[in-house]
Structure 1
Amino acid sequence: MAIHEFRDRRAAGRALAQSLAAYADQPDVRVLALPRGGVPVAFEVAEALHAPLDVFVVRKLGVPGHEEYAMGAIATGHMQVLDDEVVRQLGLSDAAIARVVQAERAELERRERQYHSRRPALDVRGCKVLLVDDGLATGSTMRAAVRALRLLQPACIIVCSPVASVEAAALLRGEADEVICLFTPAHFHAVGKWYTDFSQTTDEEVMELLDRPHGPT
């Protein structure tokens, strides 16, 4: 298996959409992307399925001084998920965690305001929600999203990703109604390893994709 499986996020989204064809043209299907990297993937899914597209904002909580290492995540709806094992092993204090949460909450709220400045968030009550990201490494961010999304009372939540670690996929099967990944490599390393082009998705790109019409015409 080549180390790069997808040319870019849009190509990954087109491939993922093929595995989601059963959800095409269903009026109760909604596609929600985890911004920012999940948006180009989800855009292609929404296009292929003729389904409405929106974002569901989530922020990883990085360990102070080692921000790439997740100790949890926060999501829309004031949902917070902490990895108790990481917190215990590193001896993180409540005050240290609170500082990280405060900073990430500010960025989460900024993104919510920006992404929904031109239209309100989709109503997902009673709908089948396809929750999309560009890859799942630890699964902690997606887990926070699933738990927060449950509060909005969708009919079901299907986690969708082009690639996931074995551990993340197993974790999320205990949270979501279904998990659909194109592949789960035994040696995952990092999400970016599975893309030829993994350049950062910008707020401008997110807004441009969200502004395009979606759903049945």
Structure 2
Amino acid sequence: MLAARLRHLRAADPVVVGLPRGGVPVAAEVAAALDARLDIVLVRKIGAPGHEELAVGAIGEDGVTVRNEAVLRELGLTWESLADEVARERAEILRQASALRPGPRPDLRERTVILVDDGIATGATVLAALRVLRHLGATRVVLAVPVAPPDSLAALAPLADEVVCPSRPRRFAAVGQWYDDFTQVPDDQVRTLLE
């Protein structure tokens, strides 16, 4: 269903990028349907201590940093107090780049890029990914996800040129609730899809 809603972009010769790991299988289907190149964009969520699923920010390739200042304030945290976690996640981005990407990153300058994930909860990692893609020179960025709550999409919409999301449930707890099988996608499967 997601790929069908993106067919109008085929003529733009887009690059489809997935967020590892869960977004890559979805992105692979979109890329196949559009006969487009598939790649990844690497970002990592920075979770609140003791509540790692609650994003206080995210980091991405090329030094992109996104902070959720409201959540940091509410929890009495500073970005500096999370320096060890940020360093670990930056190291993970470097590891993923060498472990997952089979070749050099494609040149995204002056290209249409379709950013795909398996769904959006808070949107922190997607926000970082959108900023990374803009930083890399993408002229048109389309955000495409199968499921996301309306408020998260509304917050992200100004950062994308187009948003495609077939399912926008108001009652939304987590992305995994919308999948029959939400087990983690292994690195070797991601690399196989990218090859």
Do the two structures share a fold, i.e. TM-score over 0.5?
yes
Structure 1 spans left out of the alignment, 5+ residues: 1-14, 212-217
Q: For structure 1, which segment, 150-159 or 41-50, has the greater mean C-alpha deviation from structure 2 after superposition?
A: 150-159
> Distance between the aligned counterparts of 1:59 and 1:75, measured in 2?
6
Aligned to 1:20: 6
Task: Among all aligned residue pairs of Structure 1 and Structure 2, give the percentage whose two residues are the same amino acid.
Answer: 47
How many residues of Structure 1 are paired with residues of Structure 2 in the alignment? 195
Letter in 2 for 1:184: R
> Distance between the aligned counterparts of 1:56 and 1:93, measured in 2?
26
TM-score, length-scaled by structure 2: 0.97
Which of 93, 105, 108 is matched with 2:78 structurally? 93
Q: State the secondary structure of the residue aligned to 1:137.
A: coil
> Distance between the aligned counterparts of 2:96 and 2:78, measured in 1?
27
Which of 3, 9, 33 is matched with 1:48 structurally? 33
Aligned to 1:6: none
Residue 114 in 1 paired to residue 125 in 2? no
TM-score, length-scaled by structure 1: 0.87
Once the two structures are superposed, what CA deviation does each residue of 1:153-184 show, in whole Å capped at 9, x if it has no partner?
Answer: 11210000000111110011021111110111
Q: Are the counterparts in 1 of residues 144 and 163 from structure 2 also a CA contact under 8 Å?
A: yes
Which of 195, 198, 217 is matched with 2:182 structurally? 198
> Distance between the aligned counterparts of 1:77 and 1:145, measured in 2?
11
Structure 2 spans left out of the alignment, 5+ residues: none
- Equivalence map 1:6-85=2 (5 Å): 15-24=1-10, 26=11, 28-85=13-70
Q: Are the counterparts in 1 of residues 109 and 139 from structure 2 also a CA contact under 8 Å?
A: yes
Q: State the secondary structure of the residue aligned to 1:121.
A: coil
Q: Are the counterparts in 1 of residues 12 and 112 from structure 2 also a CA contact under 8 Å?
A: no
Give the direction of change, closer, same or farther, for the CA distance of 1:135–1:49 in structure 2 (3 Å limit).
same
